[in-house]
Structure 1
Amino acid sequence: DLNVNSHQLSLAVVGYQIAVIKGEMEEAENISRFKIGREGGGRLARFPEGRDLKELALKITTDSDHKFELALQLDDLETALDIVPISTEINPESITKWKSLGDRALAAWRFDLAKECFENAGDLGALMLLLMNELLKLAERAEREGQNNLAWSIWWTTGERERCVELLIKTGRVSEAALFARTYCPSLVPKTVVAWQSELKTKGRPKIAETIANPDVNPENFEEGWEAIIEKERGETPQTESPVLVDVGA
């Protein structure tokens, strides 16, 4: 006796796969659309995807999650955007999709879309980084257009102390640059002192210029220890000559 198992084989599916293998994409798309229908679209799309034919897979698939993944891989952000709102209401799954789309939009320099995605995802950390980047661009533009007060305020707000010093020097406020650097970025003090001394000499005040101490030339004039100040700025712990031993008892 023989046991015979029968399996249904769709000629349309076979024809579709043959068309894909032969590279007849238009024929494959027509077969999937008119002879197989939406019900088999999600399953059929895996075949061209496995052959790295993602564009065809994107056209054929009827599974929204699969379509979203393919759209991101192809940087088809508009298609992905159309899928996210209708996938689910705000829940962990849709939040993940908004974040993924936001990351791809950011990589593609689509800042407006990235902002929309991160807002919908409630990703405040990503929004902060995005807005910080936009703020830095605004500072660059303000400096180029001569709006120095605005540029300096942004550099200060965003913690760009070195840019603050550079802008003060650039605008001829070298004495203020030196005092600012002394307080907030000591490693730039030698540079600002040289600029300050040069300005004074240009104005015929060489004696005053000579009274300004440069830590690179006269570190002994800084009682607190210039090396310790620089290490503190770098976030390093100054090394003492010998450790202080404390008796904590037995």
Structure 2
Amino acid sequence: MSYVEEFAPQTPPTSQVTPSAGDGMQSMAQRAALIAEWLRGGWLEDLLDTALQWVEDGIETLERITQQIIDIFLGLVVTPINEALQNLKDWFTGLTEFRSGTDADLAELQSKTQALEGVIGYAHGYCDAGISLAIGAIKYGVDNQVGPVEGAVLTNGAYYLGSKGLWVADARVTFDPAGFGVGEDTEVLIRVFDPSGNPHFTATNVNHGAQRQTLTLHVPFTVPSAGYRVELWVAAAIARNVQTGSKFNGLSVEKRSTETS
């Protein structure tokens, strides 16, 4: 049944409700009652109920569509209720996959670019001279190189870095046991100085104990240009010796990136 057929109003009984000359009050009341009964025939109420249901259904559908759009953009699992939402979901999924692939491609490209730019820097050395320490930190100069050196230069017991970027320094120092009541604190430091000799970065590892101790440091840092130098420093009480040779001490530098931030 069509909309027109379903909700077409009933034809009023014109012969019964059309006023004529001589009608009395009783006849007019009867005709009014017939008109009221016609209006209560159900078609008007059904029409209003149906219209309200359409509005409620439309609002509910709109709310579901809105929520599904939000869920799609949040990356949640969604079963679209119509084709338009399915197309939106497919588009957004493709966009996300494209971005993920693009990020991976950019990371790979950056890695290759850094290799072409010379993101290579490494050096490792140790000190072959023992020292008997006094109170306070002193420089423990590296005087022996292990393996090749690239992107850095060993000069005056320090590594001079040949380029800006992110570097990592590693240090290892073994201290003799403390004797005859000397202090028990030991300390190893990595110090970085700018080309003018000003302190740029310092990291330290402190330990307290009279027994033989091996202290290590592993620290990343950045430098904005070439010419910065990295030094190994140690501190302990007097007569607390640092053991010599590559078995007991060492300083390494390694470049990780040309970026500084």
Q: So what's the TM-score if we normalise by structure 2?
A: 0.25
Considering fraction of residues, name the structure with more strand. 2
Q: Could you say which structure has the higher helix fraction? A: 1
Bigger Rg over Cα: 2
TM-score for the superposition, normalised by structure 1: 0.26
